[in-house]
Structure 1
Amino acid sequence: MTGVRESDPTGLHRVLDDRVVLPQAAQRLDTRHALWSDEVRIRVERLNLDAASFRQLERTHTRADGTVDRDALRAEVLGIVASRGKMQNPETGSGGMLVGTVEEVGASSPLGLAVGDRVATLVSLTLTPLVIQDGLAAWDAATEQVPCDGYAVLFGRSIAAVLPDDLAPELSLAVMDVCGAPALTARVVSRYAGATVAVIGGAGKSGSLSLAAARDAGAARVIGVVPHEQEAARLRASGLADEVVLADARDPIALRDAVAAAGGPADVTVVCVDVPGCEGGAILSTAAGGTVIFFSMATSFSAAALGAEGLAADVTMLVGNGYVPGHAEHALHLLRGHDGVRRLFEERL
């Protein structure tokens, strides 16, 4: 492309801010249709908004009578994408990911994709140039999966996985949206001999995969924590947890006591809930020398750090960054290998 800045594999060339920041931190991205030589353009079929972002949008547009103004929610998503050139919720800072079909590949793209490949992007929508062209007319704004028509651009350092032939695209998207959680859970659990693992939000997407990953990685005991009996019944039926306990993860004492009664404290605590205020309970539920993995974009990392210090808690705290080598393949393997995981995913879809 002549007359424009040189491309950078991080996508720096599409940042429109006055100061030098990476695309995730940018206020606005360049969404031009034409590609730099190391880029790939995707014809978008479906977005998957991350759970924390979608729940925040629902809360914002809940009327006094408790119903959600779905039209206003849809309009806000359209407004965010139009103004920022990407999907990044200004309140949560998070986005999601997408599925679509490769429509053009730059001559020097290192991603190994070909025109016609149906792919899931494994990088956040918060750093992906995105244009929506159908006004989200097919989205009822009732779930985080958003059918749409438009295009997105991947950079030289982006990641994408070709969709498997044996799974519905909606199911693949749901799994790949959270595939970093089980991969990191497995890595951490494998470092403990006979670990007790507690997964907060165990009936959700990342939670169910993390329970299965912990079991496969050698955990001696897995505890699933859920907020109400409906989810508890679903999780019990899945067979993924040795113990299923009810607790409000925002109540640190209730959470600590529930995990303790189920065989805790945990050597590894995995936080997969999409509401704020769960940091203290996760720390209290974890044994000295244990590890807390935060996978929720609703997490306040300052609250986690200062809370652990204030509790004199000798725990390692990890931020799940969504990427571990081989994470997509691992998550799909868990889905195929654990009937309980697949059942929970399909019930949500």
Structure 2
Amino acid sequence: MTQQSDPTGLHRVRDEARVLPQAARRLDTRRELWPDEVRIRVERLNLDAASFRQLEHEHGGDGGAVRDAVLAIVADRGKMQNPVTGSGGMLIGTVEEVGPESPLGLQVGQRVATLVSLTLTPLVITDGLAGWDGRSEQVPAEGHAILFGRSIAAVLPDDLPTALSLAVMDVCGAPALTSRVVAQYVEGGSTPTVAVIGGGGKSGSLALAAARAAGAGRLVGVVPTEREAAALERSGLADTVVVTDARDPIGLRDAVTATGGPADVTVVCVDVPGCEGGAILATAQGGTVIFFSMATSFSAAALGAEGVAADITMLVGNGYVPGHADLALDLLRSDHGVRSLFEERLS
């Protein structure tokens, strides 16, 4: 390996064009490490919700076909990046080897969760996903993955089940950014109304808990079904729960406004496209919309806001805020409502 490594992983890109690993068509997956890399022995993948939903829909719920599709993507691209959604997920495993110049602070034998997307992580699967039925986002797997100098990983806690830790860390960016935004309102002297679209899901439930902990006022949870509404109401995470189709912009606007007015902060945590307009209309002038869904069309959001003269700030949740994993795990430990929703989903 005579090529010099780059902390972004540029040296693993096999495309002719000079692009970063996430934008690359194909990555180099060789086991041998450059000095600043870490190799992980893979234990489990967690496909992101938008990607899994798309694969499940494309293959009509046929788990075997979904499994074959994931294997084909990884074999073809050297990473797990759904070509339709562009998204991937994350993984857990055991540190197998650490390059002498790695800045990540990891040690051989540690069980870790990678907090960077599978869309930029060199990945090899060696067991044909024999332990996965193709019907869930969590994927038992064997193989190896590579972390770069600017990758992120967190050591798995000893006090939580592995599947639970993986589910939380997959979405830990959402509560951290929600907390930061709400705290800025509170520091400015207001107690913002926060609406979370998809409040009954993993990222949504954590966002609600983070908003309350940061000092939010009224909390509104938006869900698509009565079943999710009942679960969210039992959790106590939202002051008001409304059932509406987030793809209906007028319906979403009216549902949120009917709870006491538009939201100061709207957090979008759903895994279906077409929710941009409703999120914009449900947000007060001068408010903030945080988009965490990989199904979001950012051109639709920008042009949609312009088209209705919405004076709002729109943020892209990029999945990383310093301390995001610890914050999410602490919310899971301390908030019974969050934990109950996560355990119900995993069961």
TM-score strictly above 0.5? yes
Deviations 1:13-60 (A, max 9, x none): 000000100000000000001000100000000000000000011110
In the superposition, the TM-score normalised over structure 1's length comes to 0.97
Matches within 5 A, 1:1-349: 1=1, 4-62=2-60, 68-192=61-185, 193-349=190-346
Please state how far the C-alpha of 1:69 moved relative to its aligned partner: 1.3
Q: Which amino acid aligns with 1:238?
A: S
Quote the offset at 1:264 in angstroms.
2.7
SS at match of 2:306: helix
Determine helix, strand or coil for the equivalent of 1:347.
helix
Distance 2:320 2:37 in 1: 20
Q: Distance in 2 between matches of 1:45 and 1:228?
A: 34
CA distance in 1, matches of 2:111, 2:260: 44
Q: Structure 1: which 5+ runs fail to align?
A: 63-67
Query: Residue 210 of structure 1: SS of its match in structure 2?
Result: helix
Q: Deviation at 1:191? A: 1.6
Instruction: Give 1:70 deviation, angstroms.
Output: 1.2
Residues in 2 aligned to 1:291 and 1:318: alpha-carbon distance in whole angstroms: 7
Q: Which amino acid aligns with 1:132?
A: I
Give a deviation string over 1:129-148, Cα, whole Å, max 9, x none.
00000000000111100000
CA distance in 1, matches of 2:21, 2:260: 44
Structure 1 runs of 4+ aligned residues shifted over 2 Å read none
Whole-angstrom distance in 1 between the partners of 2:327 and 2:308: 35
1:47, 1:29 → 2: CA distance?
18
Separation (CA, whole Å) in 1 of partners of 2:174 and 2:194: 14
The share of aligned pairs that are identical, in percent, is 78
How far does the alpha carbon of each residue in 1:68-89 deviate from its partner, in whole angstroms, 9 at most, with x for none? 1111111010000000000000
Determine the structure 2 residue equivalent to 1:65: none
Q: C-alpha displacement at 1:262, in angstroms?
A: 1.1
- The one-letter amino acid paired with 2:312 is V
> 2:101 and 2:125 mapped to 1: Cα distance?
26
Q: Which letter maps to 2:270?
A: V
* Secondary structure class of the residue paired with 1:156: coil
Aligned length: 342
Task: Tell me the SS of whatever aligns to 1:25.
Answer: coil
Alpha-carbon offset, residue 271 of structure 1: 0.2
- Matched AA of 1:219: A
Amino acid at match of 2:182: V
Secondary structure in structure 1 of the residue aligned to 2:142: strand
1:281-319 C-alpha deviation (Å, 9 max, x unpaired) = 000000000000000000000000000000100010000
| Structure 2 unpaired stretches of 5+ | none
SS at structure 1 position matched to 2:66: helix
Deviation string, structure 1 residues 161-184 (Cα, Å, up to 9, x no partner) = 000000011110000000000000
Deviations 1:97-116 (A, max 9, x none): 00000000001100000000
**Alignment partners' CA distance in 1, 2:258 and 2:233:** 17
Q: C-alpha displacement at 1:223, in angstroms?
A: 0.3
* Aligned equivalents of 2:56, 2:269: Cα separation in 1: 19
Letter in 1 for 2:156: L
